[in-house]
Each structure stands twice: as structure tokens, then as C-alpha cells.
Structure 1
Amino acid sequence: MFVSVIIDLKIKELDQKYDYIVPEELIEFIEIGKRVVVPFGNMERLGYIVDILTESKIATKPILEVVDIEPIISDEMFLIYDYLINHTTSLKSAILEAITPTEFMHDYQKKAVLLKSFDDEIIQNFNRIGEWLLSKSDYKYLSKLKRFEKSNLIKLITTIKPRVNPKVVIGYEYNHNHNYQRINNYLHIVEQFFYQNTILRSDLLEITTASVLNTLEKNEVIYRVDVTIKREVTHKFDLNDKDILLNNDQKKAYNEIVSGFNTNKEYLLYGVTGSGKTEVYLKVIEEVIKNGKTALILVPEINMIAQVAKRLKSKFQDVAILHSMLSLGVKHDEYQKIYDGEANIVLGTRSAIFAPLDNIGIIVLDEEQDESYTQTETVIYETKDLAKIRSKYHNCPLVYASATPKVETMYQAQNNQIKLLELPKRAVIDLMPEVTFVNLKNELKEGNTSILSRKLLEELTTTLNNNEQAMILINRLGYAPFVMCRVCGYVPTCPSCGVSLTYYHEDSELKCHYCGYHEPYKNECPNCLSKELAPRGIAIEQVIYELRKYFPKAKILKLDTTTTKKKGSNEEIWYQFLSKDGDILVGTQMIAKGFDFPDVTLSAVILADENLNLSYYNADEKTYILLKQLIGRSGRHKPGKAIIQGYNLSHYAINTLEKDYMYFYNKALAARKIANYPPYVKMSQVIISGLGYLKTYQEAYIIKESLEENNHKVLGPSQAFILKRGEDYRFKLTIKHEDNDVNQIIKILKEYNNDKIRIIYTPFIDLE
């Protein structure tokens, strides 16, 4: 027997199948999808079995070890693997790694073994048995160690170990055959074992002392056992969620989805903000669980996990939660719960689409319009595409829930490609917020130089006086988007990316949001030496500064990527605001997504039209969705208001906000038809990067010509928004094509992808 293996090295030149001999003693353990340890060059590496062969002309080495008891990659996940191979330029090894839970990955660790003693200070790092496990900080000694290895003084060994191990703690079991005479003194402990066979040491220490346990153990009354325990997800759950009572519109949507059980029908659950879309799919999930099946629910942001989780946990026992802010140990145990069949519901963010869940009865993409469902690094994919594969495999319905669907999704619904389910009214209070538009040009003309309009200040005053809450959106990090010299016009830029540096007042720093570069802020211009290097533009820190000036007694909370880096910090802010331990929540786009705060009666946008200036064909859609979602945070349980500030308020993405979504949809659709944009054509983007500006541009042009020879319409090459990353220059091509052209496009691009020119293909055009 032979196997074909993909080695876990993300190097293009090595990204192929390698055949290995299967030793006779390992044959019974071989299955596609398992990982094996194989010799590779002068190393031992992990590989994924992707094929089993009866013969091979190229296999010369045997596999050394089978790592997995059960396949880590299922047949279903191999369907996704095949799709990504044919629809992206991603490496095979990278795709397999993306599918494999990080917590089940293995790490490589070098170990130095002492063969002979020698005179060097480095020898003090070896332990008593002559071994030294190298940490990352020890790799600075690697070149010296290799010299010693050549002299046969040491041997370097690479070991492979699991990244995360199960958590094992001490437990005790009762010995019914003990002969301890003084047992009557400890009956209060012994009786604990009447109710359970194994008790954790930590639990027993709550009713007795360590010395007592040691006495009982010494006299063989109890004996130690290793107990594997699950590390639990900790969220601020409110487990007293009310029963779901559906209104007539919700019942209609519910019945429609239930009628689609055991089919792979797609549904767009479209309803205004606050219409109870979550209630519908939670009720559907109840029916799914009754039928003995499982449910996969995806939300776009970690911020949304807690409030959906609290509702699930209040109704269902076996819920697994997956997102990147969980510790490795907790995430490992959540995945193990899924592998072991102990979870019938999985709730997670984008990467949970790979959750190894069996017997799925429904898949839900909540807030389907959100850009976070697009993976833009390493392995590039649209979550919706992978959800369709899983829906087809399990023959289960796929539900997209949104108050502001993507134009393409609504177009499919209008053309009966997916089933449209409408919730036209709010579930609690059938009244949308009153929307007021404020032209900032007029504010300035009339003497108001503050970034807060007079109308906004007036409504904030009323809201705070009524002991209610407000949410304010400003979609820019820092204090100002850039700084500029008033004398010579100099703007500091990132030395790697070429983009202007963002000013952070709190840290007194200039930072690059793309590569992390930062430098101290000084008001002295390095170009003309004047003291006029000053902040320009508006960002979140500046808005908070202004609010504190006008409302010194108000408690203002901030929610953006700088406040959510610490584990649990985003949920802490959310819970704080929900508990009314905050009057005004100021944040970037993450505050517009799915939150339900009963006391929020005012939502406001500082610069409504800023996204309209982005060079995307769907900049109008991005703007409308963000603003409409933010407006929807207000007045969900009592009458609310929304203030929309901006300069270009006449654009249809803004002036349709107080109307139904379909007004915007029809305007946007008409504009796209004229320009021949999606949904009337498929559009893809190619990023070409390489050393040297001119050489990379020329290579991009050659690729364009090759695509055009195959009858594809190609726009560009043009500079990517971030022209330079590290040493690489970047150009982009935009391709208009038919849906079935993707395989041919990928084939052409792979011909040019090499170690000097790197090509990233995306089935969308938002990647920069």
C-alpha cells in the first residue's frame, strides 16, 4: 500500500503530492484525511493523506507514524478543499491548514542532545540528562549548535508535539476494599462517593483539607486518577431568556423554512431592524433539534457572539462556541465536543464554517451582508460559497438573515433563485426611528466649528436628561486620519506601506493600520522644520474629546479594534452599556451590527458620506448598509431618533435611509446595470506583487494580455490602494467574466505565479 501526502510546508515549490510506502504494521490505521509523520529531506514533517494507492513508481520512503485516531479532514471537508483548489490561487497545504482546527495542529520543537562534553558556555543550557529543548529565544544559538553537531559533540533532533493537550486534573475514586479502621471519622467524605464514582480533588478541598485527603490516600481509602475536564467558554450569559412567541409574519417565515427541511433550499430572511429575524431561526432550530439533527449558526463579528450565545444557552444544552478570542485550550475543548458528537449547535464567526459538525439540519448566516464573511488572507474565500457546499452535502436549508441584504443577494431573491421571506414590521414597537439629516456645510457657514452639529447636541441633551442612551458612529481609528504641515504640506507616511500615518492623541503616536509601524508624534516638520505639523480630519478619539467637553458628567464608552484586543474586553464593554453603566457608546462600524440595547433612543453618524469616496463599485452599498444598520440600533423598545451628519447628503445611498430598503436597492441596481457591474456580471480581482515597481507593472500587463486572449474583459493594471507592502510593489487587475470562467482564469494565473511574482485571486474586488 502507498499513500499520497501533502506536506505541511506553505512553500509554493513544495506544494504538491508526495508518495510514501505504508509499512505493513500501519496499514490498518491508514485513512484519507489522517495526518502522518514522514521523512522529508533531512527532516521529519507532518503530512495529510489525500489519496491511497495500490502502486507508486516514485515512493521510496516509508511513513513513520500515524498521528490521528480518526481522520482530521472528513469527506465533506475534502469537497471544500477541492472547491478552494479550483477557485483560488491558495496553496494546497494552506487550505488543509485552514480546514484543520488550529488547536489540533502540531508544533515542531528542536532538541539538542549532548554526545560529548565540551568547553563552551552554551553547555550550561543542557539539563542533567544532557538534553536542551530549544525555545524560540534559543534559536539565536542555532548556527553554533549546528557547528557542534558537525563535530559530533551534539545531535539536533526535531520533535513533533500537539499544540494543545487536553486539560488533566487530579481526581479520586473510592476503594471499597480498604481496611482502614478509623474510617468513621471521615464518613462525610466517603458519602460523597455514593453519588459519583470520581470526584475532583478541587471539589473535595471545598469540604476538607489536603492533609485529610493525604491520610485517606495513604491508607488506601481513596486513590488518585487522572480526570480530563473540559475548559468552558465564559460569556456573560443571561440564562432567563423568554419563550419565543412568533407574530404572524414570523410564523409564515418559520413555516416556510421548516417545509424546506431535507432540501438544500436557500432562503433570504429579510426584515427591518428589530423585526425578530433571530427569533425565527431560533424557533426553526428548536424543530431541527427535535428531529435529531444539528445546527450551524454564523455571525460576522465576535462582538455578536455573546448576545446570540445567551439566547442559545438558555434554550439548548449542547452548544459549542468558536471564535478567535477563545484561549487555545478552550477552543480545543469546544472542537473536541463537536468531534465527539456532544454539541448539536455550533455558533461561531467566519472560520466556524469548517466546524466538523455532522448531520446538519440548518445553516444560518446572520447579517449576511457583512464584509467580515469574506476571508482576505492566506486562503481567500466567501463564507457563503462554502456554506452552499455544506448545505448541499447535508441536504439542509441555508438561511441568510439581514435587514440590509447585499444587492446581489436581493437580486437572486427577486429572480426566484433563492426564496424571499419578509418581516416588514418591528416585533416590539412598530415604528422606525425618526431620521434627521444635518448638512455640515451649513453648520460651518452658521458659525459652528465643532464636529458635533447643533441638532446632535440638542438631541443628546434630551436623551441624557431622559436617562436614556445614545450610540455614535465614526468609522475612523485614532484622533485624526493623518497629520500635515501647514507650511509645506508634508504628510508623514509609513515607510513600508506608503499610506499616511494615523495620529493617536492618547498615545502621542503616529501609527500604520496595515503593518503596525509606529513612531512618536512631534509637531516639528522634518521637511521644513516648522512647528506646524498638526492633525487633520476627524476620528474616534476626537469625537470622544468633543463629547466630554459638552457633556462632562456623561459616561462615555469606546468600542473599536483598539479596545477589543484583550480577551473578553469587547463583551465587557457591551455588557457595561447593556447594564446602563454608560450613557454614550462611541464606536466604529462594529457597533452597528446586531446589538439590541433597550434604552438606546438615539443613534448618530458623524460623517455619513465618507465611504462614498472609496474606489469600490459598491461604495454606495457599503455606505447604505452601515448607516441603515446604525439607525436600526435606536428605538427598538421605545420611540427613537437618528441623526445623520455629512456633506454629500443628496446621494441616494443617504437620502433613501428614511425609506424602505427596496428604494435603495432599485437605485443601486439601476446604476449597476448601466455600468455593467454585479449582479449583471461576475467581477474578480487579481493582486500582483513583486520586487521592483516597473517589473511588477510589466508582469501585471502580461497577465492582463493573457486573460484578454481568452476573451475576458480586464481593467487595469492600476496601483493597489496600498502600493507597497514590505519590499513588494502591488498592482491590481479587475476582471469581468461569466460564473463558469473561474477555472480557466485560475489556470492562467497559476502559470505566472512563482517565487518572484506573487498572485492573489479573489472572487470579489474589495481586497487591497
Structure 2
Amino acid sequence: MYNYAGVIVNNDSVKVDKIFTYKIPEGLKNKIDLGQRVKVPFGMGNKNIDGFIVQLYEYVELDAKSLSKLKAIIEISDDFQVIREKDISLIGIMRGKYLCTYLECIKVFIPSGITKGMKFKTKNVVVLGEPITAKYEKESYKKILEFIKENNGNYSKQQLSNEFGFSVSSINTLIKHGFLVLEEAVINRYNDKQYNNYEERTLNSLQQQAVNTIMNSKGKKFLIHGVTGSGKTEIYMNLVKKAMEDGKDSIILIPEISLTPQMVERFKGRFGKNVAIFHSKLSDGERFDEWMRVKMGKVKVAIGARSAIFLPFSNLGLIVIDEEHEGSYKSDSDPKYNARDIAELKSDIEGCKVVLGSATPAIESYYKATTGEYTLITLSERADGAVLPQVKIVDMREELMNDNKSIFSASLFSGLKHTLANKEQAILFLNRRGFSTFVSCRKCGYVFKCSNCDIALTYHNYSSNLTCHYCGAKRQIVNTCPRCKSKYVKYFGIGTEQLEDQVKKVFPEARTLRMDFDTTRGKNSYEKIYNSFRNEEHNVLIGTQMVAKGLDFPNVTLVGVIAADLSLNLPDYRANERTFQLITQVSGRAGRGKKPGRVVVQTYTPESFSIKYAVENDYISFYKEEVEIRRAMNYPPFAKILAINLSSEDEKLLIKSIQDLGDKLHIKLDNNDKIEVLGPCPCGVSKIKSAYRWQILIKGDFTTELAEEIKDITYNELNSVHNYIKVGLDVNPNNLL
């Protein structure tokens, strides 16, 4: 029997990021368990707050005086474990790996509704009671009873009256005499929509070989490198089926919520109600219900974005990470985890298989495959006999020399004309939203910037406003330069709004649809856009990177990449990789059905190796060249990067503080020949939401223990100014801006 519990308290302060020991009252000793949420007294005022039990022990090594001061747990908050025992060890690993707090880790494992005291939503429904007697066999009563028999437990009194026109008086009479009964029933807040059957397809030899390799291998971690359209989803579904046959649960991760409708349609069409959906667009109630369905063992499969990796399946057998190269699998808030890392850790702890899939694997993932850490599976052909699209590269400098100043090259113009004439569909990809990407004065060069952020404002035609894409601030457009008062204010650059506008002008027959951040803010907007384009209500889909991955539309025969250079010019060591991935992925949306596909890639730098290899669909050559650059520059996968970001509205205090911190870190690390300290210096975007931003980068072969030492130095150095300076620590960040 345990007498003491180690508890993580629900307090965000770094200063209380430790395990506190509490006494277990006699009345709770037979009920207490690891992973439970409890109420505990905390602080000088003994405020009752939530705590999470992560340790249990019979004895504690304390002197009698300290032992007498221990506080006791007040009560158990739930009748179930909110954290699995296996996840407690994972939380400890995450805290060290991602330099965050215990509580930040715990919060990703449980839905916010748990700590808010959320319960299942219920309503009183009408069900059959005693058999009706002859005295009450009126025709109106019979109709009500017959309807209830067919729909037992589905409707409340109000619904029966308002939706089906039954008399409330008659219903009340039947209830009064026991022929009908009111019962409390749970209202499903999750997606219980019925989908058309998605029939199992016969695998080709490469697909079958992939399934056999994964199922029969003693290894646990696999990378499927399959060209776009090679049938990776069907492989995933076969693996899920085999896991279910073995009584195992599966998690399927997808990178974008925009892909959820397509994946849900397929998996629910194949596996029915056995599938849960989990992502950030769900309401708190929906997330609570889906989490509880998993917790209670009512589903065997979950589909979702990165947070679904933490769902509490009791018998996890398979984790699939589709489009594993995507940056959205890395969290940008604490804990700054990468879902790929979490999947590997869960595999080590729970013994489940992990399958990563991509046509353009992350350099780090493919490197692990070459070193044997992952088992590599290659799918070199498209499924069902489809062929890869023909890709043409267009040098926009030559278009300009030929006096073509439009958005569309001659090749893209003729391609769109042909596609629309043949009643086919096209996707146009431009990784910038808005109408004009910046507004400037042609006389003095003044650029309209956000007053809160160090970023140019973007013009949005639909709102007639200049908008900051970092803080959301809006500003009315003006035609006079604030600096020189000239009238030479011009709108430069092009975003998805202007591209859509130009398509409508040049091709009046085009029925355009746009998918970017501005058009997908609504709750069901992704599904509406997906269904509308799938049903061919529109023939041109225009979008940012949301359209560049995973989507499968058989009638899309043309893809246009409007500006292939955008991601190439970012000051980031991943720029080449991201450019290659985006072009390859969006090209793969063409020709996925029986009709051949064409792709037009417009660029001002056709000589770039990332663009050249993307056009040739040659991942191996790209990987070989890129990995040698990484090796020479000591970037991942050959080293780690720890970014220390400080931000504050007080610029002078920020600069002094980060310089003092930099001095301490240089003293600590300069003699370590495996470590390089870069900075301090301003971030690429030096101001966001009125806060100035500076950073220090630590690059090299550092251990988790050394990273924790650096974390301690950072917080100790900034302890006196922590109320004025925000600290961010990120291992292998997505970008260095």
C-alpha cells in the first residue's frame, strides 16, 4: 500500500517545475493510482489546485520535522487515469528532450475539457416502456409508439414535436402511464456521419511487398519512399486492418487539416465507426468526446494532426505518419516536440510499429534509412498503372524578354486553355496569400510595415485593408506616402487573391476556388472546399501549400507552380529541401487518374539544383547533393541546433540581457570543440507583436544533459528580469527566422 504520491501541480511557473510529495489520506489509499488527477493544497495559502500523480511510494527519506509538514491530497478528481502509466515515462523524456516543463508535457496528453471539468453532453430521450393496454389504443398513440419503436432512444420530446409533428400532450399521456419512458442519453459531439463504402483494393506487387515487409520484419521503424500516387494510403489501410485483426489500435497522422476530409472519407468508408478524428479545428466538446472514445476502447483507429499522437490507446500496435517530411509535425509552442520523435519514443516504450511515408522524405529521415535506423521501402511506380506527369520548367526571364509581363507563361496559358476546354481541372500553386505582398512608394522607397512587427503589410482585396500576417493588425490603404507625401504608391508582388482575380479575367470560363489561410478559417471550410472541387463544381483550385500534398483528384490534369523560387530565397538551411519538396509534391497532384498529367513550373532560377531535381522527380540525386552540404556546414542530421530566443517590449533590457547570457554561454562552451555558439544577434524577423526578438544559436553534437545545463544557465541568468523577457528554447527549430 502506498502512503505518498509524487505530484505535478497545475501551475505554469518554471520555478515549480518539479515533483512535489504529498501524503495519501487513509480513505484514498485503496483508490489512488498513477496518472490520476487529484486536488491538492498548494502554496502559502494552500489553494486547492489540480495535480497529476506521476509517482507512488511507501516511504520517503525525510526527517520527522519535514515529514510532519507534508500536505495531504484532498480528493481524486476523476474515476479514471487521465494519463497512462506508459505516458508518464514519456513525459519525463520529453521534458529533457524539449527543455520544457512537466506540466507543458502533461497538457498535450489530455484535452482541455478534462481540467475544465467537462462531462459528456446529455439529453432526455423517449424510449419504449410497458406494452400499451387496449384502453389507450388510439390511432395517434399507435403512430407515436411505432415511430419510437423504429427510433428508440434517438429523440427528445421537443424533437418529436418540433421535427416530426407529434403532439406533446399525447407524448406526456403515454409517459404518464408508463408506455413511454424518459431516459438520459449521451449526445455525440463527434463526427458520426455515415460514409459510402470505400472498397478494399487489390494491392500491386510493390504495395503487397511493402505490407509483407512491415508485418513480418522484426524491426519497428519503417520509411516508405513512394512516388506521388504510388498507393501509400492503401498500404496504410491494409496495415490498420491487420492490426485490428490482431486486436491492436492504430494512429494515422496527417500534416494538414485540409487533408482530413479525404482521409476520413476513406477510413470511415472502410472501417466505419471504429475511427476517431482528432485535430485543432474540433470544439472542446468534440475533442473531449473523441478522446474519451479512445480512452474507453470504443474505437480502434484515430486520424488526426500531430496532437493525435498522444491519444490514450490501450493496445497501440501501429503509428503511421503520412507526408512525414512536413514541418507541421513540429510544434511551435511548448513542448516544441516533433511527432516523428514522439512516434519513435512510443515505439521504444510500447513496442508498436512506426511507418513514415513520403514522396519527398525529410533529409533526417532518409539519412536514418541509409544508416539502418529505419527499414527503407521504395515504391518507384504509381498504382493502377497511372504515370507520373510531364513536367516543364519555364524560365520567366525569357518570358519577360519575349515581352510577356503577365502572371502566366505562354506554356501555362495554353495549358489552362486546353484543360478548361476539355472539361478537366487544374491546380495553381502560389505560396503567398493576399492580393499584393507589399506596398511601397516608388519615389522614396518607403515600404508600408506593421507598427507592431518588423514585417511588410500585405494588401487584401476582399477587405480593402493592409494586414500583418504575424499579429493580424489591419490598416486602411492610403494613396499618399507617409514619408515623402508623393502619390507614387504602388502595390507589388502577387498573392493567391490576385492570382484568382487574374484567372477570372483571363479565363472567364474558369470556376475558381481558393484554399489558403483566409478561406479556411471556418470550422468546416476544408471539407466544403474539398467536396466542392471533388464534385467538379469548380475547375481551378488556387492555393498555398495546403494544395501541395496528399490531395487526390482524378480529373486534375494540369498543375501550375506560379513562383517556384519563393521558398528558395529564405535565409534558412532547409530552403533547398523545402523548395524541392513543395514542387515535387504539388506536381504529384496531376495525372492521378486515367488521364495524363502536365506540370508547368515557373521560375527565375532554373539552374537551382533543388528545382532541377524536382522537375526530374529525382529525389536520390537531390538527397546526395543536399546531405553533403549539410555535412560540410554541420547541420542536421550531423548536428543539433538549439535556438535560444528572447523577446521583450523593452529593447534595451533585451539586448543587455541576451548579451550577458551570451557571455555566460561562451565561457561555458567555447572550449568545447564539438559546440559552436552563434550570436547573440537579432532574429530574422526582429519584432513581432510589439516585442523585439534576439537569439543565440548553439550548434553541434550536444547531449540532452548539456542542453539541460544550458537551459538552467539561461533561466538563472534571466531570473531577475523574467517578468519582462519571454524565453523560448527550441531544439532543431523549423526555421531560424
**TM-score, normalised to structure 1's length?**
0.88
Compute the displacement of 1:657 (Å). Answer: 1.9
Residue 243 of structure 1 aligns with which residue? Answer: 200
- Contact kept? 2:327, 2:734, Cα under 8 Å: no
Give, in whole Å, the separation in 1 of the partners of 2:487 and 2:149.
79
Query: Does residue 100 of the first structure (1) align with residue 110 of the second (2)?
Result: yes
Distance 1:198 1:474, change over 3 A: closer
More deviation, 52-61/176-185: 176-185
| Structure 2 match to 1:24 | 26
Aligned to 2:240: 285
- From 682, 692, 695, the equivalent of 1:729 is 692
* Deviation (angstroms), 1:721: 1.8
**Closer, same or farther: CA 357–445 of 1 in aligned 2, 3 Å:** same
Q: Distance in 2 between matches of 1:545 and 1:595?
A: 24
1:761 to 699, 714, 729: 729
Structure 2 CA distance, aligned partners of 1:465 and 1:73? 57
> Could you say which residue in structure 1 is the equivalent of 2:630?
672
Contact conserved, 1:270 with 1:420, CA < 8 A, in 2?
Answer: yes
Is the Cα–Cα contact under 8 Å of residues 279 and 307 in structure 2 kept in the other structure? yes
From the superposition, tell whether residues 234 and 467 of structure 1 become closer, same or farther in structure 2 (CA, over 3 Å). Answer: farther
* Cα deviations by residue, 1:507-559 (Å, 9 ceiling, x for unpaired): 11111111222211112211112222221212111111211110122111100
Partner residue, 1:662 = 620
Partner secondary structure for residue 629 of structure 2? helix
Shift of 1:354: 0.6
Deviation, structure 1 residue 190: 4.3
Corresponding residue for residue 388 of structure 1:
344
Looking at structure 2, the residues matched to 364 and 550 of structure 1 have their Cα atoms a distance apart, in angstroms, of: 43
CA separation of 1:415/1:623 partners in 2, compared to 1, >3 Å: closer, same or farther? same
Which residue of 2 is the match for residue 47 of structure 1?
Answer: 51
Deviates more, 1:362-371 or 1:749-758: 749-758
1:172 to 2:126 alignment: yes
- Which of the numbers 583, 589, 601 marks the counterpart of 1:644? 601
For residues 180 and 214 of structure 1, the distance between their equivalents in structure 2, rounded to whole angstroms, comes to 18
- Report the Cα distance in structure 2 between the residues aligned to 1:703 and 1:724, rounded to whole angstroms: 25
Note closer, same or farther for the CA distance 1:302–1:4 as it changes in structure 2 (3 Å cut): same
Deviation (angstroms), 1:467:
0.5
Which residue in the other structure is 2:82 paired with?
A: 72
How far apart are the structure 1 equivalents of 2:304 and 2:342? 15
Q: 1:174 to 1:602 in 2, by over 3 A?
A: closer
Where do 5+ consecutive residues of structure 2 fail to align? Answer: none
Q: Name the SS for the 1:316 alignment partner.
A: helix
For 2:153 and 2:478, locate their aligned partners in 1 and report how far apart those are by CA, in whole Å: 64
Could you say which residue in structure 2 is the equivalent of 1:294? 249
2:546 matched to 1:590?
yes
Structure 2 partner of 1:576:
532
Contact 1:79-1:389 at 8 Å conserved across structures: no
Amino acid at match of 2:20: Y
- State the Cα distance separating 1:48 from its structure 2 match: 1.5
Cα pair distance change 1:446/1:91, threshold 3 Å:
same
SS at match of 1:353: helix
Letter in 2 for 1:288: A
- Please state how far the C-alpha of 1:36 moved relative to its aligned partner: 1.6
The structure 1 residue matched to 2:660, chosen from 699, 705, 709, is 699
The yes-or-no answer on 1:255 pairing with 2:175 is no
* Match of residue 462 from structure 1: 418
- Is 2:706 the partner of 1:744? yes
1:372-404 deviation line (CA, Å, top 9, x unaligned): 000011221111111111112221211001011
**DSSP 3-state at the match of 2:528:** helix
2:582 aligned with 1:626: yes
Aligned equivalent of 1:84: 94
Residue equivalent to 1:335: 291
In the TM superposition, 1:509-528 aligns within 5 A as 509-528=465-484
The Cα offsets for residues 17-41 of structure 1, whole Å up to 9 and x where unpaired, read as: 3333333223333222111222334
Contact 2:331 2:338 in 1 (8 A): yes
Task: After superposition, give the CA deviation of every residue in 1:158-206 in whole Å (9 maximum; x if it has no partner).
Answer: xxxx2x3311111234443987832465345446677897564367554
**Residue in structure 1 matched with residue 261 of structure 2 by the alignment:** 306
**Partner amino acid, structure 2, of 1:326:** L
Q: For the residues of structure 2 that align with 1:541 and 1:493, how far apart are their CA atoms? A: 20
Deviation at 1:429, TM superposition (A): 3.6
Q: Who is 2:676 aligned against?
A: 713
1:365 aligns with 2:324: no
CA distance in 2, matches of 1:167, 1:86: 38
CA distance in 2, matches of 1:765, 1:165: 37
CA distance in 2, matches of 1:170, 1:22: 39
Per the TM alignment, residue 462 of structure 1 is displaced from its structure 2 partner at its CA by 0.5
Equivalent runs, 1:397-436 vs 2, <5 Å: 397-436=353-392
Does the CA contact (< 8 Å) of 2:111 and 2:284 recur in 1? no
Query: In 1, distance between residues paired with 2:152 and 2:524?
Result: 35
Q: Which amino acid aligns with 2:35?
A: G
**Residue pair 1:264, 1:391 contacting (<8 A) in 2 also:** no
Q: Deviations over 1:696-719 (max 9, x none)?
A: 441342254033344422222232
Q: Corresponding residue for 1:141?
A: none
Secondary structure in structure 2 of the residue aligned to 1:90: coil
SS at match of 1:375: coil
Matching residue's letter, 2:696? L
User: What is the CA deviation profile of residues 114-144 of structure 1, one whole-angstrom value per residue up to 9, with x for unaligned ones?
Assistant: xxxxxxxxxxxxxxxxxxxxxxxxxxxxxxx
Cα 1:94–1:680, aligned 2, differ >3 Å: closer, same or farther? Answer: closer
What are the within-5 Å matches in structure 2 for residues 417-566 of structure 1? 417-566=373-522
Aligned counterparts of 1:266 and 1:181: Cα–Cα separation in 2: 70
Q: Displacement of 1:234 after TM fit?
A: 6.1
SS at match of 2:446: coil
AA aligned opposite 2:733: I
- The Cα shift of 1:468 comes to 0.4
Cα distance between partner residues in 1 of 2:545 and 2:94: 30
CA distance 1:729–1:650, change in 2 (3 Å): same
Whole-angstrom distance in 2 between the partners of 1:283 and 1:537 = 46
Residue type at the aligned position of 2:245: K
Secondary structure class of the residue paired with 1:13: helix
Deviations 1:53-105 (A, max 9, x none): 44462644433321111110111221221112111232222221122112322
Classify 1:735/1:296 alpha carbon distance in 2 versus 1 (closer, same or farther; 3 Å): same
Tell which deviates more after alignment, 6-15 or 268-277: 6-15
Contact 1:696 1:730 in 2 (8 A): no
Give CA deviations for 1:258-281 in whole Å, capped at 9, x if unaligned: 113xx5511111111001011111
Report if aligned partners of 1:167, 1:228 keep a CA contact under 8 Å in 2.
Answer: yes
Q: Offset of 1:424 from its aligned partner? A: 0.6
Summarize deviations over 1:322-378 as a string: whole Å, max 9, x none. 011122222221111101100101111100011011211111000000000000112
CA distance in 1, matches of 2:398, 2:215: 53
Q: Which moved more, 1:509-518 or 1:340-349?
A: 509-518
Q: 1:293 to 1:37 in 2, by over 3 A?
A: same
Residue 258 of structure 1 aligns to which amino acid in structure 2? M
Aligned residues with identical type, % of pairs: 34
1:614 aligns with 2:618: no
8 Å CA contact 1:473, 1:604 repeated in 2:
yes
For 2:703, what is the secondary structure of its paired residue?
helix
State the partner residue of 2:171: 213
Number of aligned residues: 708
Structure 2 letter corresponding to 1:47: G
Q: How does 1:198-209 map to 2 (within 5 A)?
A: 198=153, 200-201=155-156, 206=164, 208-209=166-167
